[in-house]
Structure 1
Amino acid sequence: MIRIGIILGSTRPQRNGEQVATWVLDNAKQRSDAAFELVDLLDFPLPHLDEPIPPSMGQYQNQHTKKWAEKIASFDGYVIVTPEYNHSTSGVLKNALDYLFAEWNNKAVGFVSYGSVGGARAVEHLRLIAGELKMADVRQQVTLALNSEFENYSVFKPGAYQLPQLATLLDEVVAWSTALATLRPPATPAP
C-alpha cells in the first residue's frame, strides 16, 4: 500500500500548523487507498545543515540525519503542511528538506498552507525546492487564510468548502505516488 507522510513544517510554540496537520490526517485516514502518517518536525530536531558531504552524495555522517533519512525514505509521497513566514516557508522546514536528496526523489508532494494570504507564497517557494529535489508537485493546493479559517487567528475552524479541495489534493498525491513507483526503489517500512 502507498504510504504518505504528512509533514508538519513548523516547530514554533503555539503553532497553528499542528491543528491543520491533524485535520489533514483525520480526513486522510478516512480513505482506504493509502496509509497516512503524521511526521512532526519537533520529533526530528535537526540543527542547521551540518553534514560535511552534500546530501546528493547520500553519505550521511550524523545520527540525526540518518534517522531523518530513514523516516523520509519510508514514504511514497508527502503532504507538506506549511506556514507562511515573511513570504516564504519556515526555516525549519527548508532545513529539513535540505538535509536529504535521494529520499525525496521520484515522489509526489502536495501542499496545505496557512497564513495571511493562505500561505500561497510559501508554497510557490516550496514548488521550486521540490523540483530541485526531483519531487513531483501536484497542482491542487489547500490554502487557509488566518482571517477566515482561524478564530482569533489561532483556533482552526476550516470551512466545509475546504474538504473537496483537500480530497482532490489527496487524490492527486496518491495517484502520482502510485504512478511514480516504478521510478524509485521500494519504500522501506518505518520501524
Structure 2
Amino acid sequence: MPTLLVIIASTRPGRVGLPVGRWFQQFARQHGAFDVRVADLLELNLPMMDEPKHPRFGDYQNPHTKQWSQIVDAADAVVLVMPEYNYAMTAPLKNALDYLSREWQYKPVGLVSYGGASGGLRAQQMVKLVVTTLKMMPVPESVSIPFVANYIKEGALEPTDFMIQSAQAMLDEMARWEEALRSLRASTRHS
C-alpha cells in the first residue's frame, strides 16, 4: 500500500491546524487507499535552513535534516494541512519544503487549507508555485475550509458534507496520480 504523508504546517500556540490535521488523518485512513503517516512541523521543529550545501546534493550535515529526508523519502504522496497567513503559506512550511529536493520529486500533493473568508485558497495558489518547482504534482481537487473556527468544537473539527466530499475527491485523484508517478519516483529513491 502506498504511503501518504500528512504534514501539519501550523506551529503557533493555539493553532487550528492540529484538529484539522487530525480530522484529515482519520478521514484518509478510512478512505483506505494509503498507509497514512503524519509529520507535525511543530514537533519536527526544523530550524531555519541551516544546511551548508544546496539540497539538490542530498549531502546533509545535520541530524534533523537527515531525519526529515527519511520521513519525506518514505512517502509516495503528500498532503499539506495549512493555514493562510497574509495571503501566503506559513514560514515553517516554506522552510520544510526548502530543506529537501529529490525527496519531493514525482509525488502527488493534496492541499487542505483553512482560514477566514478565503479558506486558504490564496495560500494554495502560492504553494503550487513551490511544489511544482520541486517536481511534485498538485492535484486540482482540494479541501478549503473558510471560517474554520466555526467548525472546531471541543478541540475537534466537525466537517461539513462539502469538506467530506472534497476530501474524498482529492484522495481519489491522489491515488490515481500516485500510481501514474510510481515509476518516476522509483528512479529517484535512494537504495
Q: Work out whether residues 149 and 159 of structure 1, in 8 Å CA contact, stay in contact via their aligned partners in 2.
A: no
Residue in 2 aligned with 1:61? 61
Amino acid at match of 2:82: T
SS in 2 for 1:140: coil
- Partner Cα separation in structure 2 for residue 146 and residue 78 of structure 1: 24
Amino acid at match of 2:159: P
Amino acid at match of 1:166: A
CA offset digits 1:84-134 (Å, max 9, x no partner): 001101100110000000000011101000011100011111100011100
Matches within 5 A, 1:25-104: 25-104=25-104
Residue in 1 aligned with 2:170? 169
Q: Work out whether residues 84 and 115 of structure 2, in 8 Å CA contact, stay in contact via their aligned partners in 1.
A: yes
Amino acid at match of 1:78: V
SS in 2 for 1:5: strand
Residue in 2 aligned with 1:125? 126
**Is 1:137 matched with 2:145?**
no
Residue in 1 aligned with 2:158? 157
CA shift for structure 1 position 78? 0.5
Say if 1:64 and 1:75 are closer, same or farther in 2 by CA, change over 3 A: same
Q: Work out whether residues 79 and 111 of structure 1, in 8 Å CA contact, stay in contact via their aligned partners in 2.
A: yes
RMSD: 1.8
CA shift for structure 1 position 180? 0.4
CA shift for structure 1 position 11? 0.9
Q: Work out whether residues 23 and 156 of structure 2, in 8 Å CA contact, stay in contact via their aligned partners in 1.
A: no
Identify, as 1 or 2, the structure richer in strand.
1
- Partner Cα separation in structure 1 for residue 22 and residue 36 of structure 2: 11
CA shift for structure 1 position 162? 1.4
Identify, as 1 or 2, the structure richer in helix.
2
SS in 1 for 2:52: coil
Equivalenced residue count is 187
Amino acid at match of 1:22: R
Amino acid at match of 2:60: Y
- Partner Cα separation in structure 1 for residue 124 and residue 162 of structure 2: 20
- Partner Cα separation in structure 1 for residue 132 and residue 100 of structure 2: 14
Residue in 1 aligned with 2:111? 111
SS in 2 for 1:158: coil
**Is 1:8 matched with 2:3?**
no
- Partner Cα separation in structure 2 for residue 103 and residue 151 of structure 1: 33
Q: Which runs of 5+ in 2 are unaligned?
A: none
Say if 1:135 and 1:158 are closer, same or farther in 2 by CA, change over 3 A: same
Q: Work out whether residues 113 and 121 of structure 2, in 8 Å CA contact, stay in contact via their aligned partners in 1.
A: yes
CA shift for structure 1 position 57? 1.4
TM-score normalized by structure 1? 0.92
- Partner Cα separation in structure 1 for residue 122 and residue 68 of structure 2: 26
Q: Work out whether residues 149 and 158 of structure 1, in 8 Å CA contact, stay in contact via their aligned partners in 2.
A: no
Amino acid at match of 1:63: P
